Amino acid sequence: MVMFLFLVVALAVVVSAVTLAVVGGGDQGPLPEAAPERLRDALPPDRPVNRADVDGLRFPLVARGYRMADVDDALGRLGAELAERDARIAELESALAGARAAAARPPTDKPAAPREDEQQ
């Protein structure tokens, strides 16, 4: 019984010492707050995104997956660039269709053949 009581007291002393060291009883005070890990390799803001940029994109892990703000920013940027490219493709396809239609039409502005009385 005395041995059991001694082990309980020793365990309480060890737990108390560890708690005090972690909470703020140590030399340096409480543990410093860890800065949240941020997205290091963001998409380039000065040029259009290419395949290598998307392949190299890595999101930092947090307790429940990825930081929602980083993922939302990257998806928003990619969505905006895709919409811009789709609009540009539609504009170019429309211009190409117009050019093909113009090339397929026979020219209507033929010069009139000169009359016989004008040739002399």
**pLDDT tens per residue, range 3-54:** 989 999 999 999 988 887 777 655 565 666 766 677 666 788 888 888 888 8
CA 44, CA 53: separation in Å to the nearest integer?
A: 8
| CA dihedral over 102, 108, 109, 113, signed as positive or negative | positive
pTM strictly above 0.75: no
The DSSP bridge pattern shows strands 61-62 and 65-66 to be antiparallel
